[in-house]
Structure 1
Amino acid sequence: MSDVEIAEVESFSLDHTKVLAPYVRRIGVEHGPKGDAISNYDIRLVQPNEEEIPTGGLHTIEHTIAGLLRTRIDGLIDISPFGCRTGFHMILWGEPQPAEVAAAIKSSLEDIAERVTWDDVPGTAEISCGNYRDHSLHSAKEWSKRILARGISLDAFDRTNIA
């Protein structure tokens, strides 16, 4: 091993062979010097190392859910896809409860699956997206339906508490 210092990242110490997706998991809450809280969530949509959402579908979910969630939950700072394409990190001001986050994710995925049209998807032009050709609303809709059919658990390791 080299002498490069790399901080431990909680997400990489999570046992990905034990989690049961889809789920919402609060990774942690950080407090700033003035007491402001920022919550970090693991939004796992598909089972790690068994499935991955194709980039076109995940990209379209990302663009669409970023806007949908801002109408459903206060304090959203960012929602960004995992490189492994199994879900998203979500960063919010405050300390929303997992059930509130799961409800917002669920209703957003319902909109993507059933109501969103291509005209609703933001950032699909060259001027507004760094890879505008890599979108698929069809894939986003199909994956959203699959995720919703499985239900979103409020526990990463137990599928009995489904939102």
Structure 2
Amino acid sequence: MADVESFTLDHTAVLAPYVRRIGTETGPRGDVITNFDLRLVQPNEGEIPTAGLHTIEHLLASLVRDRIDGLIDISPFGCRTGFHVIMWGEPEIPMLVDAITDSLRAIAEDVTWEDVPGTDAFSCGNYRDHSLHSAREWSKVVLDKGISHDAFQRVGV
């Protein structure tokens, strides 16, 4: 089996919330994509409930795109502690942290249910599993701690 970087990370040594550059890939035509680990919750100490994580995912997909160019995808980890963030090029971590922080602030303070994209059977594969209340509360928790620019130290918060 292929080695997967995420399974070699010492999950007991990281200090969430943080953004960590997992790595970059260069395509056959020279296009570069970067994969980031956006960890919102300390691994093995907690997890975001599925409905809240689902709503955060849908909102970040739009809100982050409004704040930074080059977002390809933002996908939740199965462990429910954060997201993979895939971007074109090699954006700097502080720029991404700013976009995510501002997006989480919008979720915590401004977003209404009508703002949440993909909440019907046409546009979501599990549209009944959403919670804006949970998304708001978890966004507040992350904002209170601040998102570090380093997975192993509280930097840039």
Q: TM-score, normalised to structure 1's length?
A: 0.95
Structure 1 stretches (4+) deviating beyond 6 angstroms? none
Whether 1:84 and 2:45 are equivalent positions in the alignment is: no
Counterpart of 2:136 in structure 1 is 141
What does residue range 1-163 of structure 1 map to in structure 2 within 5 Å? 6-162=1-157
CA distance in 2, matches of 1:70, 1:37: 18
Gaps of 5+ in 1: 1-5
CA distance in 2, matches of 1:95, 1:72: 16
Q: Deviation at 1:124? A: 0.4
Higher alpha-carbon Rg: 1
SS of the equivalent of 1:71 reads: helix
Q: Percent identity?
A: 71
Q: Calculate the aligned-residue CA RMSD, in Å.
A: 0.7
Q: Which amino acid aligns with 2:134?
A: S
Q: Which amino acid aligns with 1:84?
A: C
Q: Deviation at 1:31? A: 1.2
Gaps of 5+ in 2: none
Q: Deviation at 1:160? A: 3.4
Deviations 1:4-32 (A, max 9, x none): xx100001100000000000001111112
SS of the equivalent of 2:67 reads: coil
Q: TM-score, normalised to structure 2's length?
A: 0.98
